Structure 1
Amino acid sequence: MSRFRRLFPVAGLVFGLLAGPALAQDARSLSGASILMYHRFGENTVPSTNIRLEQFDAHIAELKSGPYHVMSLPEIVAKLKSGEKLPDRAVAITADDAYISAFTEGWPRLKKAGIPFTLFVATEPVTSKLKGYLTWDQIRQMKAEGVTIGAHSHRHPSLPALGPDKAREDLETSMALFEKELGEKPSLFAWPFGEWDAHTLKLVKQIGYSVAFGQHSGVAHSQHDMFWLPRFPMNEHFGSVERVRQALNSLPLPVTDVEPADVLVKLGQTQNPPILRFTVAPGIERLNQMVCYTGEGKQLTPKLIGERRYEMHAPDALKPPRDRISCSVPSSQQSRFRWFGIQFTVMK
């Protein structure tokens, strides 16, 4: 098994399908940021969404001792949107869902280390005072202490599966609760389950968010679509210091002209598996060493079909509710990889 698969066996990457800014003439100088995504801290009965505290302590030690520039997510977003160059190995820390352990375990450790933090809140479990989640008072306290609060929908549904009217209702309910409880509307949004399609992406823009984040590995950069920026997921199974170090040292792999034009796969209605095509930006080296895998670890063979344009398809049909194809290319800098990927929303 390659080193790529050992470190990132299931963490797919999402890159833009819709029209975005023109790619740089030479993408080797394109700067980016690695955004780490957590859910629970020290809740060891749910390993798929939890990071053990000893693992998280090791992550913080790596961030403090390594060659990294830890920044707040709004600061990174501002530089991405303006095109201003980020420092090498820029990093941001985020967590989704507003589990209580973000308040009792995660934030105290980050605050002590002087590391900024963004929390994406699903408003329904908080408002209904569901056990295991933060309260609005605790969220207000975190905000007062400097935590950035972003939105993560109301009921944490698969937004594409809701349909247009119910998806809008969920997002508008969430936005109204933020305004009521925190006195302002959030500008940052994280997709529940990392699932989106062309319609919900337009809807999130209309609701008033300025950026949106997925749950797929990759490096955010200024020429990425701002409404599915990637993050590196962290949990017990894939939370070793080696994996964190590899994520924090990753580089962008910018592409354009991605096909298909929408990530939504409807079983029986659209081609499954979809044929993935993309063009790699000029200047990227070692494309003959590109390796690609599905979320289940099955290897794909990238086929060169034009100047820096590649085509590939998964060996088997994609399965609901989501699947991923991820690709990496070794950079000219030792032990650093460039990343591109796509997450498909698969509906029956």
Structure 2
Amino acid sequence: MRKLWGLIAGLAVLLTGSAAWAAESAVVFMYHRFDDSRFPTANTRIDQLDAHIAELQSGGYTVWSLPRIVTALKNRQALPEKTVALSIDDAWMTVYRNAWPRLKAANLPFTLFVVTDETDRGGAEYMSWDQIRELAASGLVTIGSQGAGHPHMPALTQASVADDLARAAQRFQAELGAVPKLFAWPFGEMSNDAEQAVRAAGYDAAFGQHSGPAWFGATPFFLPRFALNETYGEIERFRLAARTIALPVVEVSPPDPTLKVNPPLFGFTMAHEVPGMELLGCYASHEGKVTTETLGPRVEVRMTKPFPTGRGRINCTIPTLDGRWRWFGWQFYVN
């Protein structure tokens, strides 16, 4: 009988643990273009966006602004079940023309990450400063920065990254009267040197383009976002991502996402015990499923092939008994 009650108690922990640990993380989505079929890898169709909005309105989610989520994560405040934020990169005109009317009508907040050089350049492809000011004045939209020139920041010196950020700050101050506090890494690419420049520039947090929920134990300067496009924007995938909870990962190695050894000796430590570790699977973007070895709280991941030049990603997941996924993603840069 004692063994039976022990089994029941263990199952109860597995079944209720997802909701409890979900309070430690939030899902952030990333969009680029809307209804622009010329660029399917960066585009979200209107029928997809409409389905996302309907899901957020009817699926029991709590949609918060990104600054509110960042504050909660940094202060380790419990988040509501299925907390979600929306972000949009690059301020393409299709944001203003196709997404903004729908998101405004649904009263859904989002963060728009602006590249100041592109906005200054103008033309039919990009939103104007007047349009950006209109969104900022609505109370629904937070303006974030992607810097001035949208460079590959790990390929620059720390001084060059600082110059790019300073140039962007001058333009934001001139056009909006304030400098954003949130940053998005161009192309999702980060290095430790570039991170120091972003910190020194006064940002509160920075976001990449690797998948997974943002967890309150993670560094606030390389937070993940689920990217959405025509391929990865169907409602089934959106719903799956929106319901993920974080794998509580610390002590990632190598600590710099810009690789000096390739393939990297990749590993991480679980901050606390997670049920189902025997079901952990890790997948590299260039290789598929890779080898993992668990040594107590430490997980070592080994790849047999080097990442190609540019960006590479790895995702580690564990299924839960209530149909959700614990998820940790990471992005590397190879110069």
TM-score, normalisation: structure 1: 0.88
SS in 2 for 1:342: strand
Determine which structure has more spread, i.e. the larger CA radius of gyration. 2
Partner of 2:84: 91
Distance 1:106 1:29, change over 3 A: closer
Instruction: Encode CA deviations 1:56-112: one digit per residue, 9 max, x unaligned.
Output: 111111111101111111111111121111101001111000101111111110110
Partner of 1:342: 330
Does 2:223 match 1:229? Answer: yes
Verify the 8 A CA contact 2:285 2:313 in the aligned structure 1. yes
Does 2:312 match 1:323? Answer: yes
Partner of 1:294: 284
SS in 1 for 2:55: helix
Q: 1:283 aligns with which of 266, 269, 273?
A: 273
Deviation at 1:31, TM superposition (A): 2.1
Q: Give 2:186's aligned amino acid.
A: P
Percent identity, please: 43
Q: 1:129 aligns with which of 122, 129, 153?
A: 122
Q: What is the CA–CA distance in structure 2 between the aligned matches of 1:296 and 1:247, rounded to whole Å? A: 21
Partner of 1:205: 199
Partner of 1:50: 43
Q: What is the CA–CA distance in structure 2 between the aligned matches of 1:288 and 1:37, rounded to whole Å? A: 31
Within a 5 Å distance, the mapping from 1:6-85 to structure 2 comes to 28=21, 30-85=23-78
Q: Give 1:34's aligned amino acid.
A: V
Does 2:154 match 1:160? Answer: yes
Q: What is the CA–CA distance in structure 2 between the aligned matches of 1:278 and 1:226, rounded to whole Å? A: 17
Q: What is the CA–CA distance in structure 1 between the aligned matches of 2:220 and 2:40, rounded to whole Å? A: 30
Deviation at 1:198, TM superposition (A): 0.6
Q: What is the CA–CA distance in structure 2 between the aligned matches of 1:290 and 1:134, rounded to whole Å? A: 43
Verify the 8 A CA contact 1:151 1:189 in the aligned structure 2. yes
Partner of 1:308: 297
Q: What is the CA–CA distance in structure 1 between the aligned matches of 2:319 and 2:195, rounded to whole Å? A: 31
Deviation at 1:283, TM superposition (A): 2.4
Instruction: Encode CA deviations 1:22-79: one digit per residue, 9 max, x unaligned.
Output: xxxxx84652111110000111111010000011111111111101111111111111
Verify the 8 A CA contact 1:30 1:221 in the aligned structure 2. no
Distance 1:28 1:71, change over 3 A: closer
Distance 1:218 1:174, change over 3 A: same
- Greater RCO between the two (CA within 8 Å, min separation 6)? 1
Q: Give 1:91's aligned amino acid.
A: V
Q: Give 2:326's aligned amino acid.
A: R
Q: What is the CA–CA distance in structure 2 between the aligned matches of 1:301 and 1:30, rounded to whole Å? A: 30
Distance 1:29 1:57, change over 3 A: closer
Deviation at 1:292, TM superposition (A): 0.8
Instruction: Give 5+ residue unaligned stretches, structure 1.
Output: 1-26
Partner of 1:112: 105
Q: Give 2:313's aligned amino acid.
A: R
Does 2:228 match 1:239? Answer: no
Please provide the CA RMSD for this pair: 1.3
Task: Kindly report structure 1 stretches of 4+ aligned residues shifted beyond 6 Å.
Answer: none
Partner of 2:4: none
Instruction: Encode CA deviations 1:137-177: one digit per residue, 9 max, x unaligned.
Output: 10001111121100011111111112222211111101111
Instruction: Encode CA deviations 1:251-307: one digit per residue, 9 max, x unaligned.
Output: 010112221121112xxxx32100111111222110110111111351112112x21
Q: What is the CA–CA distance in structure 1 between the aligned matches of 2:29 and 2:163, rounded to whole Å? A: 29
Q: What is the CA–CA distance in structure 2 between the aligned matches of 1:51 and 1:240, rounded to whole Å? A: 9
Q: What is the CA–CA distance in structure 2 between the aligned matches of 1:29 and 1:136, rounded to whole Å? A: 38
Instruction: Encode CA deviations 1:90-137: one digit per residue, 9 max, x unaligned.
Output: 011110001011111111101101111110001101011143000001
Verify the 8 A CA contact 2:188 2:210 in the aligned structure 1. yes
Verify the 8 A CA contact 1:123 1:155 in the aligned structure 2. yes
Q: Normalized per residue, which structure has more helix?
A: 2
Deviation at 1:221, TM superposition (A): 2.0
SS in 2 for 1:301: strand
Instruction: Give 5+ residue unaligned stretches, structure 2.
Output: 1-19
Q: Give 1:314's aligned amino acid.
A: M
Q: Give 1:307's aligned amino acid.
A: G
Q: 1:169 aligns with which of 160, 163, 181?
A: 163
Q: What is the CA–CA distance in structure 2 between the aligned matches of 1:149 and 1:85, rounded to whole Å? A: 25
Partner of 1:24: none
- Figure out how many residues of one structure are paired with residues of the other and give that number: 315
Verify the 8 A CA contact 2:23 2:81 in the aligned structure 1. no
Q: Give 1:318's aligned amino acid.
A: F
Stretch moving more, 37-46 or 275-284: 275-284
Verify the 8 A CA contact 1:157 1:192 in the aligned structure 2. yes
